[in-house]
Chain A
Amino acid sequence: MFEFKLPSLGADMEDGTFTEWQVEPGQQVARGQVICVVETQKGAIDVDIWQAGTIAKLIASPGQRIPVGQVMALVATEGEDWRAIADTVVPADTAAPAAPAAPAAPIAAPSAVPAPGRIKISPAARRRAEELGVDLTALKPSGTHAAVSIADVDLAARAAAPVDRQAAMRAAIAAAMSRSKREIPHYYLATGINAERALGWLEQRNAAVPIGERILFAALELKAVALALRETPELNGFYEAGAFRPGTGMHLGVAISLRGGGLVAPALHDADRLSLADLMAQLKELLQRARGGQLRSSEMSDPTITVTNLGDLGVETVFGVIYPPQVALVGLGRALTKPLVIDGAIAPARVLRATLSADHRVSDGMRGARFLIELDRLFQQPELLA
């Protein structure tokens, strides 16, 4: 038997609000399967499980606020009887009560004169408004109804949500970036990479395939970053409790700006081992899910380095702030046509500005430089990136 706990959702998130289960007791689950949904400052996250088993007991309930690390369910492993585990008494400290039982509606002392503007609302709708944090004074009954209904409350909550979500996401980013600048001694390196060969290779490749198989330059860049990291593993991992812990793979956190504001950087797992076509397919899927609010908990928690690409916005150079506890961030700008001296002659070439922000507690400029040199080398041999 093992306890299924709310996994870390990244440095800037300490808890979430439980939304719903996607499994039931007795159901077999596979590793990586989405088990439940938790609402966070960065949107709804699908929480996936890291180990296979049979769901024995569901502990978390909708509306409950759950800190990272809290037990949400008990899961039977192979050979165990899930029913026996389901009867297990859950330790008190992990079994936080579900949303507090609705208190019996207090009977208000009848006031002689009703407060002006007092709204009529059903007790169930009032409870729902309290749960969702909806301002009661802003509610109005819809249609011909005399009192505010649950549906009215839900509607008001949805209307208010985008604003709150944005503020919450801004606060989460602020917390993580402040921590980064407080704790991480950044050093910064930049270099110009002649991207002519890589772009030409990709353009030729894309011209020969149907539109659905075209590969974005951003995907090629990610592959190059992942492969270059093999040279300098000390840029790929985490700094925790005073020591560096290398990542278990090249899980690139791809910085994605969301429509309507905010930023997420979910992981593209084992990017160095994916073929370019597979990497593109996974990037596509990741972007779609990030923008649709469908990210998985594993993607939020395990990027080993972040890559930010502002080339589309026309920015030439970007120096990023490291996302703790990671130890490096790669910034990619736009490939701009510039005069380059090649073999003694001036020729126009598209030049990509690549930067590295890295944690000086873990690596030195010399090693950081090694990474950028390797990145440059890979861009000159694009066939290695296929």
Chain B
Amino acid sequence: MSMSRDDVRKALIDCILAVAPEADFSNVRPDRPLRDQLDIDSFDFLTILQHLHERIGVDVPESDYGKMITLDGSVDYLMHRPTRPPGAATP
């Protein structure tokens, strides 16, 4: 079963909040670079990807980091990656 866009978006936001708890997504422009808006450095970014991997089983190779610049762009990209919905058994 694949995840809906809303599910992916929510998973991503939850993973970002785990790293940047003060992030206010009501003020985040989904079409602007996330890292600048939320002060996310390369270490935070790697941690977010690790959380995402644990949560929905998605694997983002380093060569695709450039596709995860904005919130919208990241969700678009993740929608096309194999994911595992939260709660599903690890394959």
Contacts and interface: CB of A to CB of B under 8 A. Distances in A.
A203 interface: yes
B49 interface: yes
Given A259-B20, A259-B22, A259-B39, A211 B49 contact: yes
Contact of B63 (A203, A259, A284, A313): A203
Interface in B21-44: 22, 35, 39, 41-43
B22 A214 contact: no
Contacts of A105: none
Interface in A206-254: 206-207, 211-212, 214, 216-218
Contacts of B61: 207
Contacts of B42: 216-218, 312
B50 A287 contact: no
A123 to B, nearest CB: 37
Interface of A is mostly: helix
B43 A214 contact: no
B62 A207 contact: yes
Nearest to A260: B22
Majority SS at the chain B contact face: helix
A217 B46 CA distance: 12
A373 to B, nearest CB: 27
A207 B43 contact: no
B53 interface: yes
Nearest to B40: A312
Nearest to A217: B42
Contacts of A259: 20, 22, 39
Given A259-B20, A259-B22, A214 B62 contact: yes
Nearest to B43: A287
Interface residues of B, number: 16
Contacts of A260: 22
A207 B41 contact: no
A211 B43 contact: no
B46 A207 contact: no
A313 B42 CA distance: 10
A206 B35 CA distance: 21
A233 B31 CA distance: 48
A14 to B, nearest CB: 30
Interface in A276-290: 283-284, 287
Given A259-B22, A260-B22, A216 B46 contact: yes
A211 B50 contact: yes
B60 interface: yes
Interface string B72-89: 000000000000000000
Interface in A185-220: 203, 206-207, 211-212, 214, 216-218
Interface in B45-71: 46, 49-50, 53, 59-63
A198 to B, nearest CB: 14
A242 B63 CA distance: 51
A148 to B, nearest CB: 29
B21 to A, nearest CB: 8
9 contacts: A207-B63, A211-B50, A214-B46, A216-B42, A259-B20, A259-B39, A284-B43, A287-B43, A312-B42
- Nearest 8 interchain pairs by C-beta: A312-B41, A206-B62, A312-B42, A211-B53, A287-B43, A216-B42, A211-B50, A211-B49
Given A206-B62, A211-B59, A216-B43, 17 more contacts: A203-B63, A211-B46, A211-B49, A211-B50, A211-B53, A211-B60, A212-B50, A214-B62, A216-B42, A216-B46, A217-B42, A218-B43, A259-B39, A260-B22, A283-B43, A284-B43, A312-B41
